[in-house]
Amino acid sequence: MLLKLLSRTGILLASTLVGSMIVFGLLAVLPGDPATVALGVNATPEAVAQLQQEFGTDRPLVVQYLDWLGGILQGDFGTSYVTGADIAQQIGQRIAVTGWLVGTSLVLTILIAVPLGVLAAVRQRKASGTVLAAMSQFGVAVPSFIAALLLINIFAVRLGWVPSGGWTAPVEDPAEFLRKLILPVVSIGLVQGAVLSRYVRSAALEIMREDFIRTARAKGLTPLRAFIKHGSRNAAVPVVTVIGLQVAGLLVDTIVVERVFVIPGLGSLLFDGLANRDLLLVQGIALIIVCLILVLNYIVDLLYIVIDPRLRRQLA
């Protein structure tokens, strides 16, 4: 058990290292020189050369990478090429905003997906089950930003119930925070919820065919009760994996949704950073996202063990 844990941790660290190389390498070879962009249309070749030296982008890639990684290990992500601001600090401010968005969206996703998926499965042969399945199919086909534009058009522009965008920190004004949070969260949650519900449905369907469910039903339980009482734990294993993977999808969704709703989170920072060739900033954010996803997978791995006693025995 401990050995397994150690090896999983080792894999996590190794893949983080490889991830950092890929993030750094890919962005460094992106066309568009940061110094040229920073100086804009008034640039002289001498000024560009001087700024490249100042940024350190004239050094060999390996040296730049080691310098960057060394800094990050000490919590120093460097300073932005464009604003001169401290990147670690900038990411810190934005990550809180994106955290709220991802966290609440994930909760909504699960709240939508689990009942919807289970119901669609236990009512597989009834009309209501078919309608539920069709609805989730529709949800899967709609990208979050389309859902976002639709929701803005209806609830902000036409009805005027909530603002069309912006952000207020929860400590500042909790009511306003909720008013601004609701549309972005719903537009991510509806779509991701529809996606997840299909996995929940197929996981539940598989369980419903098992002998022990047939036994439970023979003893007089309704399909739903049989599933909840005997099948839900088994169905949870594949669903947890998918949820883990889905957080990556959620992060990608927030990048777009933050832009549509004018939310100052990690996504909009990444967008601006890319446009301005603020390479250190983009590399920093990308690394953070890669780390988040790897750590999530790690947690999912550990969760299996908690959920499924059989896995625990195998590992022991």
Partner 1 sequence: MSRSPRKIAMALTAVAASLTLAACSAGAASTSTSSSSSTDAETPTEVTIGFGAEPASLDFTTTDGAAIPQALLDNVYEGLVTMDDNGDIQPLLAESWEVSDDNLTYTFTLASDVAFSNGDAFTAETVKWNIENVQSDNWTISLKSYMDVVDSVEVIDDTTVAVTLSSPSNDWLFRMTTRVGAMFDPDAVDDLATTAVGTGPYVVSSFNLGDSLVLEKNDGYWGDEPEMDTVTFKYIEDANAMNSALLSGSIDAIPGFASLDTLDQFSDESEYQILEGGTSAEMVLSLNNASGIFTDVTARQAVNYAIDRQTIIDSVAGGYGQLIGSMVPTTDPWFDESLVDAYPYDPEKAKELIAEAGIEGETIRFQVPSNSDTQQVAQLVASNLEQVGLNVEIEILEFPAQWLEQVFTGHDFDMSVINHVEARDLATYANPDYYWGYDSEEFQELIAAADAGTAEEQVEYLTEAAALLSEEAVSDWLYLQANITIAVTGLEGLPMNSTSESFNVTDLSWS
Q: Which residues bind partner 1 (CB under 8 A)?
A: 30-33, 36-45, 47-48, 80, 82-85, 90, 93-94, 115-116, 119, 123, 128, 131-132, 135, 138, 149-150, 152-154, 156-158, 160, 163-167, 222, 224-225, 259-262, 264-265, 268-269, 271-272, 275-277
- Residue 174 Cβ, how far from partner 1 at the closest point, in Å? 18
Helix (H) and strand (E) counts in the chain: 14, 0
Tokens describing residue 191: 């779509």
- Residue 11 Cβ, how far from partner 1 at the closest point, in Å? 36
Question: Residue 35 or residue 294: which is nearer to partner 1 going by CB?
Answer: 35
How far apart, in whole angstroms, are the C-alpha atoms of residue 290 and residue 64?
20
Phi, psi of 79 (to 5 degrees): -115, 145
Question: Residue 39 or residue 300: which is nearer to partner 1 going by CB?
Answer: 39
Question: Residue 105 or residue 268: which is nearer to partner 1 going by CB?
Answer: 268
DSSP conformation class of 79: B
Question: Residue 272 or residue 308: which is nearer to partner 1 going by CB?
Answer: 272
Residues 6 or more apart in contact with residue 242 via CB below 8 angstroms:
196, 199
Question: Residue 197 or residue 234: which is nearer to partner 1 going by CB?
Answer: 197
- Residue 224 Cβ, how far from partner 1 at the closest point, in Å? 7
- Residue 9 Cβ, how far from partner 1 at the closest point, in Å? 35
Going by C-alpha positions, the residue among 175, 190, 180, 193 that lies closest to residue 152 is: 180
- Residue 181 Cβ, how far from partner 1 at the closest point, in Å? 15
DSSP conformation class of 74: T
- Residue 31 Cβ, how far from partner 1 at the closest point, in Å? 5
Helices 87-122, 174-208: inter-axial angle, 10-degree rounding: 40
Question: Residue 138 or residue 212: which is nearer to partner 1 going by CB?
Answer: 138
* Burial grade of 71 (CB within 10 A; 0-12, 13-18, 19 or more): middle
Count of residues making up the chain = 316
